[in-house]
Structure 1
Amino acid sequence: MGVQVRPATRTDVPALSTTLGRAFFDDPVMCWMLPDARVRRRRLHRLFESLTRHHHLSRGGVEVATASDGIGAAALWDPPGQWRQTRAEEWRALPSLLWSFGASLRRGSIVEELMKAAHPEEPHWYLAVIGSDPDVRGTGFGQALMRSRLDRCDDEHAPAYLESSNPVNVPYYQRFGFEITGEIPLPGGGPSLVPMWRRPR
Structure 2
Amino acid sequence: MVPTLTAPAYRLGVGDLGWATALLAEACVDHPVLRHCCPEPAAAGQKAWLLGRLLRFGLRYGRVYANAERTALAVWLGPGQLAASWWQLLRVGVLPSALWRLSWSCWRRVQHYLAATAWLRHQSMASPGHHYLLALAVRPSQRGRGLGRRLLHATLALSQATAATACYAETQVPEQLPFYQRLGFQLTGQCPAGPGAPWLTTWGLMRAAPPQ
**Which bracket does the TM-score occupy, shorter chain normalised?**
0.7 to 0.9
Aligned pair in 2 of structure 1 residues 98, 132: CA closer, same or farther (>3 Å)? farther
Question: How far is 1:40 from its partner?
Answer: 3.3
The runs of at least 4 aligned residues of structure 1 exceeding 6 Å deviation read: none
Give the aligned partner of residue 27 of structure 2: 23
Contact 1:164 1:170 in 2 (8 A): yes
Task: Confirm or deny that 1:56 pairs with 2:65.
Answer: no
> What amino acid is the match of 2:152?
M
C-alpha deviations, 1:104-133, integer Å up to 9, x for none? 111111001111122233311100111111
Contact map agreement 1:46 1:96 (CA 8 A) in 2: no
Counterpart of 1:157 (choices 164, 167, 182) is 164
**Percent identity for Structure 1 against Structure 2:** 26
- Residue in structure 1 matching 2:202, options 190, 193, 201: 193
TM-score by structure 2 length? 0.83
Q: Does residue 43 of the first structure (1) align with residue 27 of the second (2)? A: no
Instruction: Kindly tell me the number of residue pairs found equivalent between the two proteins.
Output: 194
Rounded Cα–Cα distance in structure 1 between residues aligned with 2:72 and 2:26: 10
Give the direction of change, closer, same or farther, for the CA distance of 1:136–1:41 in structure 2 (3 Å limit).
farther
Indicate the larger mover: 131-140 or 99-108.
99-108
Q: Which residue of 2 aligns with 1:168?
A: 175
Change (3 A) 1:18 1:152: same
* Deviation by residue 1:141-197 (Cα, 9 ceiling, x = unmatched): 212220121112442432100111211111111111111111111333231010111
Structure 1, unpaired ranges of 5+: none
Q: How does 1:18-167 map to 2 (within 5 A)?
A: 18-36=22-40, 39-53=42-56, 55-67=57-69, 71-91=70-90, 92-98=93-99, 100-102=101-103, 103-120=105-122, 121-155=127-161, 156-167=163-174
* Counterpart Cα distance in 1 of 2:128 and 2:87: 24
Contact 2:120 2:190 in 1 (8 A): no
Q: Secondary structure at the match of 1:119?
A: helix
Task: Give the direction of change, closer, same or farther, for the CA distance of 1:164–1:14 in structure 2 (3 Å limit).
Answer: same
Q: CA RMSD for the aligned pairs?
A: 2.0
